[in-house]
Amino acid sequence: EDWQERGATVAVRQEIDANGKTVSRYIKKGVRDFSFGHVLGEGSYSTVVLATDRQTLNEYAIKILDKRHIIKEKKVKYVNIEKDTLNRLTDHLGIVRLYYTFQDERSLYFVLDYCKGGELLGVLKRMSTFDEECTRFYGAQILDTIDYMHRRGVIHRDLKPENILLDSQMHTKITDFGTAKILKTQKRPEDGSNGVLPIDSLDISQDDRANSFVGTAEYVSPELLTDKNACKASDLWAFGCIVFQLLAGRPPFKASNDFLTFQKIVGLDYEFPTGFPSVARDLVERLLVLDPARRLPIEHIKNHEFFDGIAWGRSLWKQKAPRLK
Ligand code: ADE
């Protein structure tokens, strides 16, 4: 199996050879290079554990997957999607970075950025709602990251506050790319920027299972429910749901079961709570649009009045996060 080899990151280690000479060796990191701490999170197919690199003392979150379970449940493809996607998205502060992958007899390991602040959902629950300033800041960081992902030909397809982590500076990092879709070819973006990237031989966008994937009920786009097809605009639907949720304290479409939630989504059946800021309401109404082709494109979202005062691009990531209130 070539899983171990592709995209492997190596570490340099200084060693003394038989002649007493110091030589640099490239050595792949492995389980023994880390000391493992407490469990950070658990999913259906993985456990994320805090770990420290024994040499550098850097902290990481290591996602551990049980190989037998992955194979038995036919999730090998998704594990590869996650790895390939993360290896494609290494150049942005808003994405959880993958440093190393390795395996032992029993498990696969993904060595990822440790996000000390935990999930955005947890922070939101503690605060119950965010004010406009916080929503603008976190919303801007999330949107800037979606923009980067889309330019690199990746649709996340399961954006939600559980998949948005916060680092020690309270900056957002998007995680969980196991259900992402890598687009094979891309049209030049309307803004004429150099978003064109020939995507190499990965054959996963052809996969029926990947295409028929349904994310988390509350954030699923109507086109996924009606046409079983997700596109870049599907991530912007989820973004609209998240902006609504940060200000309202609950997602716009929520019912007692998934089926009823889906009915609300395809019927655009949601209401703003009283006191919801009107400029934010206008933005959400332009995102929660049933026809994905008529949803506000990223460049227009950035220019929407709600994001007035945001300096897009690199400086967004140098900014101090507003105090939560
Ligand atoms: N839970 C899941 N992934 C995590 C990460 N990268 N950092 C902190 N907590 C997590």
Q: Is 254 annotated as a binding residue?
A: no
Q: Specify the residue for token string 């389980």.
A: 31
* CA 206 distance to own-chain centroid: 22
Nearest to 113 by CA among 48, 66, 54: 48
What confidence tier does 24 reach under pLDDT thresholds 50, 70, 90? Answer: confident
Question: Which of helix, strand or coil describes residue 13?
Answer: strand
Averaged pLDDT for residues 275-299: 98
Averaged pLDDT for residues 307-324: 96
Residue 174 CB less than 6 A away from ligand 1? no
Q: What is the pLDDT of residues 66-94, one digit of tens each?
A: 999 999 999 999 999 999 999 999 999 99
- Residue-by-residue DSSP string for 175-235: ---TT-EE-SS-PPPTT--S------S--GGG-HHHHT----GGG--HHHHHTS---HHHH
- Which is more confident, 28 or 296? 296
**Residue 144 bears catalytic tag:** no
What confidence tier does 192 reach under pLDDT thresholds 50, 70, 90? Answer: very low
CA–centroid distance, 38 to ligand 1, in Å, is 11
Residue 48 CB less than 6 A away from ligand 1? yes
The closest-lying atom of ligand 1 relative to the alpha carbon of residue 41 is 1
- For residues 118 and 126, give the distance between their C-alpha atoms in angstroms, rounded to a whole number: 12
Residue 17 has what pLDDT? 84
Task: Report yes or no: 80 and 205 within 8 Å, Cβ to Cβ.
Answer: no
CA–centroid distance, 47 to ligand 1, in Å, is 10
- For residues 152 and 180, give the distance between their C-alpha atoms in angstroms, rounded to a whole number: 12
Nearest to 140 by CA among 206, 93, 193: 93
Whole-Å CA distances, 299 to 47, 236, 319: 37, 12, 21
Residue 191 pLDDT exceeds 70: no
Residue 193 has what pLDDT? 45
Residue 202 has what pLDDT? 29
Residue 6 has what pLDDT? 41
Nearest to 112 by CA among 41, 24, 13: 41
CA–centroid distance, 35 to ligand 1, in Å, is 16
Residue 26 has what pLDDT? 67
* Catalytic option among 33, 144, 158, 176: 158
- For residues 154 and 183, give the distance between their C-alpha atoms in angstroms, rounded to a whole number: 6
Residue 112 CB less than 6 A away from ligand 1? yes
Averaged pLDDT for residues 102-130: 97
Q: Specify the residue for token string 């304290």.
A: 249
Q: Which of 47, 48, 174 to mutate to test the pocket of ligand 1 (most atoms within 8 A of CB)?
A: 48
Residue 112 pLDDT exceeds 60: yes
Mean pLDDT, all residues of the chain: 89
Proportion of the chain above pLDDT 90, given as a percent: 79
Residue 96 CB less than 6 A away from ligand 1? yes
What confidence tier does 15 reach under pLDDT thresholds 50, 70, 90? Answer: confident
CA–centroid distance, 271 to ligand 1, in Å, is 33
CA–centroid distance, 114 to ligand 1, in Å, is 6
Residue 241 CB less than 6 A away from ligand 1? no
Residue 7 has what pLDDT? 41
First to last CA, the chain: 50
Residue 113 CB less than 6 A away from ligand 1? yes
The closest-lying atom of ligand 1 relative to the alpha carbon of residue 115 is 7
Residue 209 pLDDT exceeds 50: no
Proportion of the chain above pLDDT 70, given as a percent: 86
Q: Which of 162, 175, 177 to mutate to test the pocket of ligand 1 (most atoms within 8 A of CB)?
A: 175
Residue 22 pLDDT exceeds 50: yes
Residue 175 CB less than 6 A away from ligand 1? yes
Residue 185 has what pLDDT? 67
The tokens of 213 are what?
């994937």
Task: Report yes or no: 99 and 90 within 8 Å, Cβ to Cβ.
Answer: no
Nearest CA to ligand 1 atom 8: 115
Residue 61 CB less than 6 A away from ligand 1? yes
Residue 36, strand partner residues:
51
CA–centroid distance, 186 to ligand 1, in Å, is 31
Residue 107 pLDDT exceeds 80: yes
Q: Which of 165, 168, 174 to mutate to test the pocket of ligand 1 (most atoms within 8 A of CB)?
A: 165
- The pTM (predicted TM-score) of the whole model is 0.86
Residue 196 pLDDT exceeds 50: no
